[in-house]
Structures are given as C-alpha cells and as structure tokens.
Chain A
Amino acid sequence: MLTTALGLVFFYAPLDADQGFVQKIFYIHVPMAIVGLCGFVAGGICAVMHLRTREARWDMRSYVSIHLSIILAVGVLVTGSIWARASWGHWWVWDEPMLVSFLIVFLLYATYWPLRFSIEDKEKQARYASVFAIVAGAFVPLNFAAVRMAQQFVHPQTLATTTGGMPPKFALTFVVALAGITLMFITLCKYEMASKHATFRLRALRRRLAGDDDFAATTPLRSAAPQL
C-alpha cells in the first residue's frame, strides 16, 4: 500500500499550482499527523477500557498505541519543519497555531514514559498511565478543533470543505497514502504487542523454571512498559 502511495505521489498526482513539487511532502506529513493523533485518541480509548475492565492487555494496547504515535509525531514535526523551510523560509514559526499546538501535544505525550517510570508499583503505574492517556486523549481532538476554529489561517487546510476540497487526483493519492500509513501503524502495533507478549511469557517461564528461590534474580528491572 505504501509503495502504491509512493508511486501515486511521484507519477500520478499532478504538481500543485501554488506550491509546486514541495507539496509532495503533504502526502507523508498529513497522513502521519492524522494517524498519530488518532493513535493518541485510540490510546485514550484503550485506557478507558483498562480502567473499566482492569485487564492488563488494555494497558498494553494503550501503551503501544501512544508509543507508535509519538514516533509518528516526531516524523510530523520534522517533515513539517522541512516543508516550512521550503515554503516559508523558516524551520519553525511560533505564531502559527497548528505547529505550536502539535508541539504542545507532542510534549504532553513525551511525559508519558517519565510518568510510568516514576511509579514503581505496576498496578498503580497502569492506573495512573490510563488516567493520563484518557485526559491527554480528550485534549487532542479539542486542541485540533480549537486550531481549526482559529481565525488566523496560515497553515494550509488539507481537508478543507469550504474551498471545495482536493481535486480527484490529489484526493486519491492522499487517501491511498493515508490508508498505507494507517495499515503500517496497525501492523507495527501488532508487531510490538507480539514482541512484548513473547517477552513476558518468557520471563514467566524463566521464573517457573528457576523456582521460587531464584525469584529475586529473575524479577524484571523497573520499567515503564506495562506488565502482563
């Protein structure tokens, strides 16, 4: 899907009349931003499920979703800066609401790991992290809506409805790129969760094999990652 998206970006989508070739950055920048923000919200929803059911797997899903969204957010900030440099002549513009609000969301979520790591008790850690994920997850769409409603529009509106939206060729390329990044996000989530499950099962098996006497030696070190 990503390969198809790249093919469409460079061989199918026409050049933008205003921005020219630089506009191609949007096919990677905007889908990453959308999937990243949806990942943060998904992390919040999983956290709600964790608090409702007290099942560790929901905490794990929330953790993995936020983890991957943070990685995408780094990509969004860097590619956005590259676009800003090409288009505006500056790497960063502090009076642009979209940029600053995204940075705030990123910095907010950057405190997720220190929060988890600071709590030693695993039960408490999972509970506090879930509360954080819910509050931060609710902040993301509110923040996005506030920026969209702001009067000062400098940042281009990719999903604008008032200007008639994107032409069909642009829209198709964008949708394929969005689908590609969404599928990549889901695949990487499953990959990371499978890896974490395997790690915890191995640890449990090692504990059983080592016996209760060696329990202290096989107890995992303090970690920000959830325990299953």
Chain B
Amino acid sequence: MLPALPLDEAGRYVAAAYIVFVVLIFVYVAIMASKLSRIEREVVELADLVEARDRAAAAATEPERARETV
C-alpha cells in the first residue's frame, strides 16, 4: 500500500468525492422538482378545462329552464 497523502492534499480529493455525490443527488432532485412543477401546471390546466366545461353545460341548460318557467 502507498504511504498516506498529507492532509492538505488528501482533503481536496475527499472534498471532490463528496461534492460529486451531493451534486449528483442535487441534479436528480432538481430534475424531479421540475417534473413535479410541470405536473402541477397540468393539474391547473385540467381544472380550468373542467370548470369551462361545467360553465358551458350550465349555460346550455339555462335557456331550457327559462322557457319552462315562462
């Protein structure tokens, strides 16, 4: 086995290895977070679509109800 590196030199390598680990996890979580925000946007879109559909259905039934009361 080779002799141990001095602390100042070894420290850089150890820091680099741990930074690689943190960066990998950070990038993965960031990508997943962006996907999650896209899902959130789609949920809002779909909610708007459902609301618009309900309004259209309500508007279609309104004249019929008015005619019945007359």
Contact = CB atoms under 8 A, between A and B. Distances in A.
B32 A86 contact: no
11 contacts: A28-B17, A71-B24, A74-B24, A75-B24, A78-B17, A79-B17, A79-B20, A82-B17, A85-B13, A192-B32, A206-B42
B18 A21 contact: no
From A85, A86, A184, residue with most partner B Cβ within 10 Å: A86
A28 B18 contact: yes
Interface string B6-22: 01011101101110110
Contacts of A79: 17, 20-21
A195 B53 CA distance: 27
A195 B24 contact: no
A79 B22 CA distance: 12
A16 B4 contact: yes
B5 A191 contact: no
Interface of B: 1-2, 4-5, 7, 9-11, 13-14, 16-18, 20-21, 24-25, 28, 32, 35-36, 39, 42-43, 46, 49-50, 53
Contacts of B36: 195
Interface of A: 6, 15-16, 18-22, 24-25, 28-29, 32, 71, 74-75, 78-79, 82-83, 85-88, 184, 188, 191-192, 195, 198-199, 202, 205-206, 209
Given A21-B7, A22-B10, A206-B46, A88 B17 contact: no
Nearest to B40: A198
A212 to B, nearest CB: 16
Contact of B49 (A75, A83, A184, A209): A209
A105 to B, nearest CB: 18
Contacts of B10: 20-22, 86
A21 B2 contact: no
Given A71-B28, A86-B5, A202-B39, A78 B14 contact: no
Given A74-B24, A82-B20, A21 B14 contact: yes
B39 A75 contact: no
Contacts of B28: 71, 188
Given A19-B4, A79-B21, 8 more contacts: A20-B5, A24-B14, A25-B14, A83-B13, A86-B5, A87-B5, A192-B32, A209-B49
A140 to B, nearest CB: 20
Given A19-B4, A79-B21, A202-B46, A195 B35 contact: yes
